[in-house]
Amino acid sequence: MTKTRRFGMLLSCLLLLFASAPQSQASPGRGPLVTIRYTEHGIPHIVARDHGGLGYGYGYASATDNVCTLAETYVTVNAERSLFFGPDAPAQAGITTAGSSLNSDLHFQRINDSGIVDGYARSAPSRVRDLVRGFADGYNHFLRDNRVSDPACAGAPWVRAITEQEVYRYAYAVALLAGSGALIDELVTAEPPSRSGVQARSAPTADALVDGIRASDSGNGNGSGNGSNAIAIGAEGTRFGKGVLLANPHFPWKGALRFWQSHLTVPGELNVSGASLAGLPVVAIGHNADVAWSHTVSTAATVGLFEVRTVPGSPTRYLVDGRPQDMVPQAVTVRVRGAHGSTSMVTRTLWSTRYGPVLSGLSGVALPWGESAYALRDANATNFRLVESWLGLGQARSVEEIQSALSTTLGVPWTNTLAVDRRGRALYADIQVVPHVTDDHAARCNTALGAGVFARTGVSILDGSRGSCEWGSDSDAPVPGLLGPDRLPALVRGDYVANANNAPWLANPAQPLTSYPRVVGPVGGPPSLRAQQALRTVQRRLDGTDGLPGKGFSSRTMRDVLFADQSRAAEIGKADVLKMCAAFPPGQAPSSGGPVDARAGCAALARWQGDYRLDSEGSLLFSRFVLRLGSVPGGPWRVPFDPARPLTTPNTLAIDRGEVRVAFGDAVRELAAAGVPVGARLGDNQHVTRDGARIPIHGAPHELGVLNVITPVWAPGGNTDVVHGSSFIQVVEFGGHPSPRTYSLLAYSQSADASSPHNADQTRLYSSGTWVRERFTETEIRHSPALRIVEFRR
């Protein structure tokens, strides 16, 4: 039964009986199964008697905001896109990299046919089973009681009730996101030579594979293209309190990886607030009364390859220790929509070895199947522990307990964790799922190709013809094949730790981490300009040399630092660009299309302050220029990276090089062709459209070295809508208060439904730089002027 009440005196009395509070006690079996209290911007505070009720409330509330996105996600993981949308339709954004719905379906049907997800569902811990069962029931309750009004899916036949199975399938897809989920096309198109009729090709070079892997990383640490910043300031680095945490993941603004904000409470067990991907009924990034944590996409390679030698004349047989073994064929069949509503079946045979499935390439580089074949092993292929990990983080009371939760479950799939606690301790930990490929093992077992790739990327290509080259195991890992937590890097400090998708070694430059294997990340490798910006920004604030009052961080200064939108690329490159401008004869820059008048552009850059705020002028020209520098052979810097000076190198643009000068001229010409003045305001040319109105968006692409990453799509007429970047942002401060003081923003707002009042409300706040003060305590929640309550009983 569902009831809706408005805020009033009676409500205040009733809330005291069942509402959540850090010290509250609830009588088992009394009151509603679940209560959802909505405060400003549609943020739900879900209170339940148990995990089943918590999942129920989460499923109902998340469907209220994002039913079309969730329903499409369940079509995806059920391998039914070709049936509903057609085989050539695009795959769903975010959760796959497949080139078509057919390839997406083949991938997910292969997983579903294997039974691996169903097997976990039967053996999952009881609270996970309760949570998932409740989520499915709550989602289905929404569909029963509400007519879907979102024009994106209203009346669509694929918006249907779900079972627990779909929830588990989605969680598994998230686990695989940085590994096999980023190689779907390569996995479902691998065919033996006799079937494809293609002659065996020569193996790729290590340079080609390295370039492909690095290009797919997009500077963010893995093939998903996602990234993040997190800064954890301990008591020694704060102005007034015990700790401050910035959480700033950079994820897609549309699709299956949208964040959704919530506050989840089971009295006496859990009281946690933050955000997660909408289909995961947990808080993945957030805080409780005593700790706050965030994640950043790591540099760890979560997959590895094995090269197997095939038996001459039998490409689906291979040798291990001189003995032939048969590859395992799997006939995968999906239903496909045809013309005039007809359906048919498409079957494709996919092949696997003892190491994993055969694949046709890696990061866009073809891998031949002839005298040998290549198989993929994904370290997350047996990882269903991610929900357990996040439940454990939500119950932690110190950074030591955060580290313990990570180590016990080893279920975080592809991210670092940064945290602060009430005592003022700051934690960095890359305790996640990582292949057990030590440096010694790689040296013994990498093929010649693998040796060239592993040192530069951490991706191993091991000799599958030797059984001893299988991944190793550690006794403190939950399953074979993974590095145990004792081998993974972690650091606790009193001042700070930070990460912007850089390798672990620079979590705090004052105490470099060096004793971890290459598969986790490089030791001494170059941080991105964004990582430099994060670390330099922290150090300047602690030193008091950033122009702001005093020293050290508070919630206010952390928020100001993020939305200052300062560019590290501008800091080290703008002066050189102006020198280059002064040398153009007379103001004519070379370009691919001949000389172009650069005087107005150079004048705009001379006035520009090096930031990506809405009123910045000249920033768009600089952005288009820097994005072109990525293709300069050998890089555009005269002074290369030096591991001894990781925060100040590289530097000095090589403005005497023709490629650099042409890149600038091409940027000027590009803006002219788009009809965009070179000195135009950023806010007039970087935006999202909601309800027919443009909302200007501040921030810049990753390559500019701006913390607040924003990725628009460039078209012939200039930037179109933002598609990626800062998503859920949270600043948590511990001080002398019973609960933390928290400010947050969900940059694209809670709901993807264009008809929802919460489709763009936080987006407008983000545009103006206005933060939302979180309501966490009972008093704060009860006094919300927007308070609305929904109850469910059994």
Please list the active-site residues.
228
Classify each residue of 65-96 as buried b or exposed e, where b means 16 or more C-beta atoms within 10 Å of its C-beta. Answer: bbbbbbbbbbbbbbbbbbbbbbbeeebbbbbb
DSSP of 77-89, one letter per residue? Answer: HTT-HHHHH-TTS
What's the rounded Cα separation, in Å, for the pair 430 and 562?
Answer: 23
Q: How far is CA 588 from the centre of its chain?
A: 42
Are the C-beta atoms of residues 780 and 737 closer than 8 Å to each other?
A: no
CB atoms within 10 A of CB 761: 19
Instruction: Calculate Rg over the CA atoms of the chain.
Output: 26
Dihedral (CA of 82, 85, 87, 93) sign: negative
Are the C-beta atoms of residues 595 and 588 closer than 8 Å to each other?
A: yes
- The vertex-117 CA angle with 181 and 406, nearest 5°, equals 75
Residue 590 corresponds to which tokens in the numbers above?
């070379």
Residue 310 corresponds to which tokens in the numbers above?
């095939």
Are the C-beta atoms of residues 656 and 635 closer than 8 Å to each other?
A: no
Backbone φ, ψ for residue 60 (5° rounding): -65, -50
Are the C-beta atoms of residues 721 and 687 closer than 8 Å to each other?
A: yes
Residue 216 corresponds to which tokens in the numbers above?
């797919």
Helix boundaries (H) for 363-480 = 386-395, 399-409, 439-445, 448-457
Q: Of 450, 486, 455, 453, give the one whose Cα is nearest residue 469.
A: 450
Instruction: Work out whether strand 303-311 and strand 461-463 pair parallel, antiparallel, or are unpaired.
Output: parallel
Backbone φ, ψ for residue 744 (5° rounding): -145, 165
- Residue 202 gets which letter from DSSP? P
Residue 152: is it exposed, middle or buried by C-beta count within 10 angstroms (0-12/13-18/19+)? Answer: middle
Phi-psi region of 31 (alpha: psi -120 to 50; beta: other; left: phi over 0): left
What's the rounded Cα separation, in Å, for the pair 125 and 230?
Answer: 30
Q: For the chain, what is the largest distance between any 2 Cα atoms, rounded to a whole number of angstroms?
A: 82
What's the rounded Cα separation, in Å, for the pair 83 and 335?
Answer: 5
What's the rounded Cα separation, in Å, for the pair 400 and 412?
Answer: 16
